[in-house]
Structure 1
Amino acid sequence: MVLGFIGLFGGLALLIYLTMKGMNLLIVAPLSALFVTLLNGLPLFPQLAEEGAANFLTNYMTGFSGFIASWYLMFLTGAIFGKVMEDSGAAESISKWIVSKIGMKRAALAIIIACAVLTYGGVSLFVVAFSVYPMALSLFKEANLPRRFIPAALAFGSTTFTMTSAGSPEIQNWIPIEYLGTNAYAGWQVSLIVAVFMMIFGYWWLTKVIQKAVNNGETFIERETDHHEVREELPNPFLSLIPLVVVLVISFIFHDSLKQSALIIALTSGSIATYLINRKYFTNVGKAITDGTMGAIIAIANTSAVVGFGGVVKATEAFKQAVGFMTDIPGSPLIGGALAVAVIAGLTGSSSGGQAIALPLLAPHYLDMGVNADALHRTVAISSGSLDSLPSGGYVVTTIRSIAGETHKDAYPMFGALTVVVPLIGAILAVILFSIGL
């Protein structure tokens, strides 16, 4: 079993190391999964395993293909929406208007607020990144800020104080309901305090680091892949906001009945609205759709590669032992629950995965002990959004590599600070506040 644990955590370490080195995830993820497989004694192929038993090929490809089957159309419509907003000049128009109102130094705040509104409106985290990136690029260009901080701003607005807060329609806030019998507003008082803390502390940290980089002479550096054309005329910023409102409203209306499939309708409607409102401003709508499609394919392939790694990890005996150990941690059940969910989310690269694996084991045990279900709901929700953002996480790779075109070396330090460290502090704060009776 010791060898199994070395394989488990060694495989994750290898995945993180090679990802930080900039290697292609489509090679790195299966290679790391193979390391886990060999040290845990899993068969390589289904032909070498008993019928229905776990093996490297089946478990990796089930995770890989399952994610594509679930998310491809949402990635596609999200990427196309982002591109038509960019090509029509709508993103640039909104950006210039925001900069004129709140000042160039607050460009990051504008991105954070845009991401927060969309995330709390029910739009998928991946789709938010696709949708807001063109506006973020325009804002950072206008403000002449280093572009390597864009992924951190996108992620901070999406995955911290909004994703896991009370009332959020994101899946990370809804999974505990099934196991704990709570509702989406569980522990809202503590949730509000933690969310405000994460927002203020994270924004202060981000602006401090950006200012330090600017003082060191860093500026916005354009690339050949950027939209270079200098527009003489831009669409009206208020009309340009309509497609974003369309996405938000439609996803909200259909969220209960269609769940995440509502995003396909919402984002398609947003793209159509962008075209109808700003069609005379497009430079090449066909190319925008093609570029969006290619971007979606690259993004979902990278993310699926990491999900496949998680599929192999979950099949090992070492993983089951690790989950058992963490769910039996002595002391406050809130600490044990938070730690178990966070670590499993880190191993699988998924915040929702961390909850879905840990809660069926934790919930009955802790509820029998008389643990406050609302407190447990909010604590595990917040903690699930921490270690899921290690360098190898699917959302991390998609945002940094596929959407923003940055390297982990440049973009991840601040990204990790805001999406791992800040939520961990938030989870600790939540445990403390619940423990003193709030």
Structure 2
Amino acid sequence: MVGILGIFASLALLIYLAERGWNVIFVAPICATVAILFNWGDLPVLGSYTQIYMPALGSYFATYFPLFLLGAVFGKLMDESGSARAIAHRIVAWVGPKRAILAVVLACALLTYGGVSLFVVAFSVYPIAASLFREAGIPKRLIPAAIGLGSFTFTMVALPGTPAIQNAIPIPFFKTSIYAAPGMGLVAAVFMFASGMFWLNRRAQAAARQGEGYGDHAEDHPAVDTRNLPGFAVALTPILLVIALNFLLSKFVIPAFDHSYLATAKFKNVDLKKVLAIWAIVGAMATAIVAIVLMNRRRIADLAGAINAGTLGSLLPMANTASEVGYGAVIAALAAFAIVREGLKSLASDPVISLWLVVTVLAAMTGSASGGMSLALGAMGEYYAKAAEAAHINPEIMHRIAAMGSAAMDILPHNGAVITLLAICKLTHRQSYFDLFMVGSLTAFSASLLVLGLYLTVGVF
């Protein structure tokens, strides 16, 4: 009992310190040590750090670092070249300024589905959103929710083919691809988009009836820079390359070659299915980066500086998530965790529902979609893969439901994306968090229940 208490105490400490601003890279091994001390005699402290924590951290880093690196560089170049703003401006022109909420959501959705990171999207779209909302008389407090709906809901975990890290993490465990369970993903994506838009429009209408308007934000007039922007076709081409090449490389090009060498000791006897999707994303993102540079060389004033900034910007989120994976590996090695694991598994007999519950709870506790899912799959991924195989469940369903579970309740106040987005919009939790939670988490939670219900009742997907 003391050992189980130690596990929950260490996790509570990790959450508390992270919310207080302590860097996870530093505190994760400390929190793992707290759990070990509660389980005295089970694991050695230093041996666990060097032989369990660090190898798990390193393995995650080795697998996903190319995605973090190329995604960050791609996003930075899309920003520096003006491509992100050009796409947002064109969507606004098509949709019309009177549909300001829809324009912002669609602009964010297209950019994030094309591989641009949330933070780049927020910086690029916020000035446009502020101008549109002010002109339309829509409260500024709804801007974070509009950006959030387009950035970290359906384009992050539901739409098949999205290069988001949350859609890549399940791949090695279930030997799937980023196109896993397209039917389930599309149903969930449509529901998230429709319910989120319904909520935001109703909130805007209610504010209009009360005569609220944009609000008193006279000090905040973000400049909308439209100078030297590329044409829409030029701006959109890298995104189309990411989407198209992901599909072509994973489905046709890479499988057409001889990969028998992977079955040798030199290449770790790895199954092609375990690395295929990662290779496809890397190839697509690298090609898109080259395309941005070639088409916008004169618009990018400091190419080396932009690439360096993107590279350095990828390291912190990568290391944060990898540290949480290392922490999870230590917890999973404790004898007390076997009791916790069995308890979590007993919450539902169906592996699909059980996996969704575990990922949802851990993502909520850590305040991180990628961190919670990494903890869950790092500790129990092998079990769920075998359970799905024994129950004759399509592993693609396990992939998609794990991804969706990571977004079901992760938008809590201590979530890093929430804090950053509110800071960019110069708003507080009191002003905007409620609407951000409703469209960022509640829509994903409801969409998960919808597809789980369809899976259980009519057996679709």
Same structural fold, with TM-score higher than 0.5 when normalized by the shorter chain: yes
Aligned to 2:260: none
SS of 2:297's partner is helix
2:411–2:437: 8 Å Cα contact kept in structure 1?
A: yes
Quote the Cα distance in structure 1 between the aligned partners of 2:246 and 2:161.
18
Structure 1 residues 372 and 279: alpha-carbon distance in aligned structure 2, compared to 1, 3 A threshold: closer
- 1:421–1:39 Cα change, 3 Å: farther
CA distance in 1, matches of 2:60, 2:18: 20
> In structure 2, what is the equivalent of residue 217 of structure 1?
215
Task: Give, in angstroms, the shift of residue 304 of structure 1.
Answer: 2.4
5+ long unaligned stretches in structure 1? 47-54
Q: In the TM superposition, what is the alpha-carbon distance from 1:24 to its structure 2 partner?
A: 2.6
Choose from 146, 149, 154 the match for 2:151: 154
User: Paired residue for 2:329?
Assistant: 311
- In 2, Cα distance between equivalents of 1:333 and 1:86: 42
Instruction: Give 1:251 deviation, angstroms.
Output: 2.2
After TM superposition, list the pairs within 5 Å mapping 1:211-250 onto structure 2.
Answer: 215=213, 217=215, 230=225, 232-250=227-245
The residue that corresponds to 1:204 in the other structure is 198
Contact preservation (8 Å) 1:128, 1:158: no
What residue is the counterpart of 1:254 in the other structure?
A: 249
**Correspondence 1:32-431 to 2 at 5 A:** 32-41=31-40, 42-46=43-47, 55-104=48-97, 105=100, 106-114=102-110, 117-118=113-114, 128-129=117-118, 132-133=121-122, 135-143=124-132, 145=140, 148-149=144-145, 150=147, 153-162=150-159, 170-171=167-168, 188=183, 192-205=186-199, 215=213, 217=215, 230=225, 232-256=227-251, 257=254, 258-329=276-347, 335-343=353-361, 349-351=371-373, 354-355=376-377, 357-358=379-380, 360-361=382-383, 377=398, 380-381=401-402, 384-386=405-407, 389=410, 397=416, 401=420, 410=429, 416-431=437-452
The 3-state SS of whatever aligns with 1:283 is coil
Change in CA separation of 1:11 and 1:170 when aligned onto 2, cut-off 3 Å: same
Structure 1's 204 and 163: CA in aligned 2 closer, same or farther, altered over 3 A? farther
Unaligned 5+ segments in structure 2 are 134-139, 255-275
Three-state SS of the structure 2 residue aligned to 1:232 is coil
Q: CA deviation at 1:241?
A: 0.9
Instruction: For 1:7 and 1:176, locate their aligned partners in 2 and report how far apart those are by CA, in whole Å.
Output: 28
1:251/1:266 contact within 8 Å kept: yes
Within the alignment, does 1:29 sit opposite 2:28 as a pair? yes
Separation in 1, partners of 2:161, 2:289: 28
Q: Secondary structure at the match of 1:280?
A: coil
TM-score by length of 2: 0.71
The secondary structure found in structure 1 opposite 2:45 is coil
**Normalising by structure 1, what TM-score?**
0.74
Give the secondary-structure state (helix, strand or coil) at the position aligned to 1:281. Answer: coil
Call closer, same or farther: CA 1:208–1:296 in 2, change over 3 Å: farther
Amino acid at match of 1:248: I
Q: 1:367 to 1:91 in 2, by over 3 A?
A: closer
In 2, Cα distance between the equivalents of 1:403 and 1:285? 29
Contact 2:360 2:410 in 1 (8 A): no
Distance 1:220 1:5 in 2: 53
**Whole-angstrom distance in 1 between the partners of 2:318 and 2:396:** 34
Give me the CA root mean square deviation. 4.4
Aligned match of 1:20: 19
**Residues 43-87 of structure 1: CA distance to partner in whole angstroms, max 9, x if unpaired?**
2101xxxxxxxx244332223332222222322222222122212
Alignment check: 8 A CA contact 2:152 2:440 kept: yes
**Paired residue secondary structure (1:233):** coil
- Per the alignment, in what secondary structure is the counterpart of residue 162 of structure 1? coil
Identity between Structure 1 and Structure 2 (%): 24
